[in-house]
């Protein structure tokens, strides 16, 4: 598509947003997927410090504020409240009934009732002003993630934000700069890094079972058109507008990419991201769903869903390794994160779980099911050994949510570096903007920003936590 046509499509898109209403703001969408990659990387401001291996002072009890307690946030506060040394102090949500629902759930668990802030989208600032909050968990619409995380750090709180960390390179740089200046953590809570299979794959990589790592594959393939039925409240009420972005790229790259990036120690000592190219399919699925499920005059039928149904990226790292990333939230298909890691001695993959490793199995065919399960006997990650049974009982995507939240609390209480630093969250999230720009330019390569400003070379790889 030519630059003039792309610009025209975006202008028409913004007009459409203004027409459909429903709280969709053009200024929000103007922030998404339209930036070019930065040429070079800005210097670190005087007085700021690198946060790659940063460990904050120990907290005897982690006192939490929560912003957003809808589908995702309500589960987060209930789990955090049940972790030893963790307490929910206050909750902020636009909707009074959602805030009160979470407060009631905490009281049912025998916890102290949190202070509630609701009824105004800016009331979270009142909560952030409280001196009795150490950290903030942010589970709000995507466009709010960066502003709220920045506000939390400016208020002296550690920020823990749902994926993605931010929507543009400008936002991501501001998050990095704020974290470095304030000395506060900002972690994007990529829960898939804590799934049982992904933890074992990390252990295999660290023990060199697969040899030199060459290639990874990562995806988020999850049919979510039914979210469009949440018209006024809920995830679909705010998420649906993003599928109308022309050349929107990969809107949700981190669930698949995060684990693969940590296997390869990207943005750490071993290697880092270099460049990507991106291509997308035509956009048919959501327009079809809107026509079939909603009246002709419904606001979803006033939108032209132009973000490709399937978006595919090929990433090249500084060492020359490759990663294929895919995103599809539209077509009817089985859920998959298509997790795959290939090295000189073998390959492991998910969906279905399978392996072919020299010295362990026949490398000319996949070992699956019972044979694959035997890998856990030898290479189960110590973290899953320690927490897995409790995590499965606590729930949250098979237990990975609880392990992630428990590790956050554990690191803050012990004064240890987090498992995911601010630079990883920024790099993984930036795939959205870079893929969008590549698609605008017919698949032209896009360089990754180095949010570490060269310090990735000194940052320790993520170890195997016992």
pLDDT digit string, tens, across residues 392-406: 999 889 999 999 999
Q: 218: closest CA among 91, 326, 81, 101?
A: 326
CA–CA separation, 217 vs 341, rounded Å?
A: 7
Mean pLDDT estimate for the chain: 92
Residue 110 scores a pLDDT above 80: yes
pLDDT in tens, 159-210: 999 999 999 999 999 999 999 999 999 999 999 999 999 999 999 999 999 9
Q: What are phi and psi of 291, to 5 degrees?
A: -65, -40
Q: Is the peptide bond before 164 cis (omega within 30 degrees of 0)?
A: yes
Give residue 276's pLDDT.
Answer: 98
CA–CA separation, 211 vs 204, rounded Å?
A: 9
Q: If pLDDT is split at 50, 70 and 90, which confidence band does 437 have?
A: very high
Q: If pLDDT is split at 50, 70 and 90, which confidence band does 25 have?
A: very low
Enter the tokens of residue 209: 């079972």
Residue 1 scores a pLDDT above 50: no
R_g over Cα of the chain: 22
Give residue 175's pLDDT.
Answer: 98
Q: 35: closest CA among 174, 140, 222?
A: 174
Give residue 40's pLDDT.
Answer: 63
Q: What is the bridge-based pairing of β-strands 346-349 and 340-343?
A: antiparallel
CA–CA separation, 327 vs 49, rounded Å?
A: 35
CA–CA separation, 153 vs 131, rounded Å?
A: 13
Residue 54 scores a pLDDT above 90: yes
Residue 67 scores a pLDDT above 70: yes
Side-chain-side CA neighbours of 59 within 13 Å: the count stands at 22
pLDDT in tens, 209-250: 999 999 999 999 999 999 999 999 999 999 999 999 999 999
Residue 2 scores a pLDDT above 80: no
Residue 32 scores a pLDDT above 90: no
pLDDT in tens, 128-158: 999 999 999 999 999 999 999 999 999 999 9
Give residue 108's pLDDT.
Answer: 98
Q: If pLDDT is split at 50, 70 and 90, which confidence band does 31 have?
A: very low
The average pLDDT across 42-69 equals 96
Q: If pLDDT is split at 50, 70 and 90, which confidence band does 270 have?
A: confident
Cα dist. 188→232, 426, 427, 437 in Å? 27, 8, 11, 23
Sign for the CA dihedral angle at 434, 438, 443, 447 comes to negative
Give residue 41's pLDDT.
Answer: 78
Point out the least confidently predicted range of 41-45, 72-76, 186-190, 230-234: 41-45
Residue 294 scores a pLDDT above 90: yes
CA–CA separation, 90 vs 81, rounded Å?
A: 11
CA–CA separation, 404 vs 229, rounded Å?
A: 30
pLDDT in tens, 407-429: 999 999 999 999 999 999 999 99
Give residue 42's pLDDT.
Answer: 85
Tell me the sheet residues that pair with 162.
none
Domains of the chain in sequence order: 62-188 (3.40.50.720), 193-458 (3.30.360.10)
Q: Which long-range contacts (CB under 8 A, 24 or more apart) does 233-241 make?
A: 233/95, 234/70, 234/71, 235/70, 235/71, 237/22, 237/23, 238/23, 238/141, 238/142, 238/143, 239/141, 239/142, 240/286, 240/300, 240/303, 241/17, 241/24, 241/29, 241/303
Give residue 6's pLDDT.
Answer: 41
Residue with more model confidence, 416 or 14:
416
Give residue 26's pLDDT.
Answer: 37
Residue 24 scores a pLDDT above 80: no
Say which DSSP state 295 is in: -
The average pLDDT across 74-93 equals 98
CA–CA separation, 338 vs 313, rounded Å?
A: 14
pLDDT in tens, 318-334: 999 999 999 999 999 99
The average pLDDT across 451-455 equals 97
Cut 0.95: pTM above it: no
Q: If pLDDT is split at 50, 70 and 90, which confidence band does 33 have?
A: very low
Residue 267 scores a pLDDT above 80: yes
Enter the tokens of residue 140: 């709000």
């Amino acid at each position: 598509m030519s630059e003039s046509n792309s610009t025209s499509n975006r202008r028409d898109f913004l007009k459409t947003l203004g027409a459909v209403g429903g709280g969709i703001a053009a200024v929000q969408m103007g922030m998404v997927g339209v930036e070019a990659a930065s040429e070079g990387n800005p210097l670190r401001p005087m007085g700021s410090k690198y946060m790659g291996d940063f460990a904050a002072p120990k907290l005897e009890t982690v006192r939490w504020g929560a912003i957003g307690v809808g589908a995702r946030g309500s589960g987060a506060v209930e789990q955090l409240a049940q972790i030893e040394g963790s307490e929910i102090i206050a909750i902020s949500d636009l909707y009074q009934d959602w805030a009160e629902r979470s407060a009631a759930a905490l009281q049912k668990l025998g916890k102290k009732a949190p202070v509630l802030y609701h009824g105004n989208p800016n009331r979270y600032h009142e909560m952030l002003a409280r001196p009795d909050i150490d950290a903030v968990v942010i589970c709000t619409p995507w466009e709010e993630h960066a502003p709220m995380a920045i506000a939390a750090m400016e208020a002296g709180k550690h920020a823990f934000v749902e994926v993605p960390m931010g929507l543009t390179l400008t936002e991501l740089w501001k998050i990095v700069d704020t974290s470095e200046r304030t000395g506060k953590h900002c972690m994007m809570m990529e829960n898939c890094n804590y799934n049982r299979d992904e933890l074992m794959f990390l252990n295999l990589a660290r023990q060199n079972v697969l040899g030199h790592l060459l290639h990874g594959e990562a995806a988020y393939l999850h049919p979510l058109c039914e979210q469009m039925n949440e018209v006024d409240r809920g995830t679909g009420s705010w998420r649906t507008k993003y599928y109308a972005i022309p050349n929107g790229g990969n809107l949700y790259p981190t669930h698949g990419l995060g684990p693969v990036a940590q296997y390869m120690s990207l943005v750490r000592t071993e290697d880092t991201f270099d460049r990507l190219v991106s291509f997308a399919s035509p956009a048919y699925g959501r327009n079809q769903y809107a026509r079939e499920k909603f009246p002709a005059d419904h606001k979803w039928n006033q939108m032209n869903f132009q973000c490709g149904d399937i978006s595919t990226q090929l990433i090249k790292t500084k060492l020359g390794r490759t990663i294929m990333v895919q995103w599809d939230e539209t077509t009817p298909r089985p859920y998959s994160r298509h997790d795959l890691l290939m090295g000189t001695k073998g390959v492991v993959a998910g969906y279905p779980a399978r392996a072919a490793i020299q010295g362990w199995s026949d490398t000319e065919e996949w070992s699956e099911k019972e044979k694959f399960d035997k890998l856990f006997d030898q290479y189960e990650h110590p973290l899953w050994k320690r927490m897995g049974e409790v995590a499965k009982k606590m729930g949250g995507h098979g237990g990975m949510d609880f392990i992630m939240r428990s590790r956050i609390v554990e690191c803050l209480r012990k004064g240890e570096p987090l498992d995911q630093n601010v630079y990883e969250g920024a790099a993984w999230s930036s795939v959205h903007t870079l893929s969008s720009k590549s698609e605008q330019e017919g698949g032209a390569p896009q360089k990754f920003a180095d949010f570490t400003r060269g310090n990735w070379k000194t940052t320790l790889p993520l170890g195997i936590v016992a």
